[in-house]
Amino acid sequence: MKKTTKLAPAPKAALPAASEPRRRPTINDVARLANVSKKTVSRVINQSPFVNKETRKRIDAVIAELGYAPDPVARGLASRRSYLVGLIYDNPNPQHVIDTQQGILDIIRGSGLELVVHPCNRRDKDFLPGVRGFIDRQKLAGVILPSSVSEDEELVALLRDSDTPYVRIASVLLDNEENSIVTHDREGARQAAEHLAGLGHKTIAHVSGPDTFRSSHERRAGFMEGLKAAGLSLDKKLDLRGAYTFQSGVDAGRKLMGQAMKPTAVFCGNDEMAAGVCQAIRETGLDIAKDVSVVGFDDSPLASRMWPALTTVLLPVKATGRMASVRLLGDRLTKEPLEEDSHGEVHPRLVVRASTGPVRPAYGA
Phi-psi region of 330 (alpha: psi -120 to 50; beta: other; left: phi over 0): left
Q: Is 180's pLDDT higher than 80? A: yes
The β-bridge partners of 143 are 86, 166
Give how far Cα 256 sits from Cα of 34, 240, 264, 265, Å. Answer: 72, 9, 10, 10
* Proportion of the chain above pLDDT 90, given as a percent: 62
- pLDDT tier for residue 331 given thresholds of 50, 70 and 90: low
Q: What is the DSSP string of 220-260?
A: HHHHHHHHHHTT----GGGEEE--SSHHHHHHHHHHHHTSS
- pLDDT tier for residue 38 given thresholds of 50, 70 and 90: confident
Q: Is 49's pLDDT higher than 90? A: no
Q: Is 172's pLDDT higher than 90? A: yes
CB-based contacts of 257: which residues, under 8 Å, 6+ apart?
Answer: 280, 281, 283, 284, 286
Q: Is 8's pLDDT higher than 60? A: no
Per residue in 75-97, pLDDT (tens digit) is 554 444 568 999 999 977 788 89
Cβ–Cβ under 8 Å, residues 2 and 29 = no
Q: Smallest Cα–Cα separation from 25: which of 10, 14, 35, 36?
A: 14
Q: Which ranges of 12-152 would DSSP assign to H, the alpha helix?
A: 27-34, 38-45, 53-66, 72-79, 94-108, 127-138
Per residue in 181-215, pLDDT (tens digit) is 999 999 999 999 999 999 999 999 999 999 989 99
Whole-number pLDDT of residue 330 = 77
Whole-number pLDDT of residue 365 = 43
Alpha carbon distance 86, 194 (integer Å) = 38
Q: Is 135's pLDDT higher than 80? A: yes
Q: Is 46's pLDDT higher than 80? A: no
Per residue in 209-242, pLDDT (tens digit) is 999 899 999 999 999 999 999 999 999 999 999 9
Cβ–Cβ under 8 Å, residues 308 and 289 = yes
**Which of 60 and 292 is assigned the larger pLDDT?**
292
Whole-number pLDDT of residue 74 = 56
- pLDDT tier for residue 15 given thresholds of 50, 70 and 90: very low
Report the pLDDT averaged over residues 87-113.
89
Mean pLDDT score of the chain: 87
- pLDDT tier for residue 26 given thresholds of 50, 70 and 90: confident
Whole-number pLDDT of residue 243 = 94
**Which of 164 and 78 is assigned the larger pLDDT?**
164
Whole-number pLDDT of residue 95 = 86
Phi, psi of 225 (to 5 degrees): -65, -40
Alpha carbon distance 243, 321 (integer Å) = 23
Query: Residue 243 carries which side chain, given as an amino acid letter?
Result: A
Cβ–Cβ under 8 Å, residues 10 and 54 = no
